[in-house]
Amino acid sequence: MESPRTLEDRVTDLEIKTSFTEDLVDHLNQTVVRQQQQIDLLMREIAHLRQQQADGSGAAPRSLREELPPHY
């Protein structure tokens, strides 16, 4: 059987690794939450744009030939 000091060192190493793992999981969780918020915002914006297009309130397509260059 191993000596108590060696076993204590192993437990300490495991506690350190667990601490780093918990920190990493927390960081990854924050990243996932932030990305989900961005996805939700983009989904709402897409729905809003689709609604505008369906209502006909979006900007009408323009012909570039009808526009004057800025120097005129």
pTM score > 0.75 for this model? no
Identify whether 3 is part of a domain. Answer: no
Give the chain's domain count. Answer: 1
Identify whether 61 is part of a domain. Answer: no
List the domain range (segments joined by +) for residue 42.
17-53
Identify the DSSP state of 66: G
Indicate left, alpha or beta for 36 from its phi (over 0: left) and psi (-120 to 50: alpha).
alpha
Quickly tell me which residue has 């990305």 as its tokens.
35
CA distance 54 to 48: 10
pLDDT band with cut points at 50, 70 and 90 for residue 5: confident
Model pLDDT for residues 10-27, shown as the tens digit of each residue: 999 999 999 999 999 999
Residues in the chain: 72
> What token pair was written down for 51?
């609604």
Amino acid occupying residue 47 = A
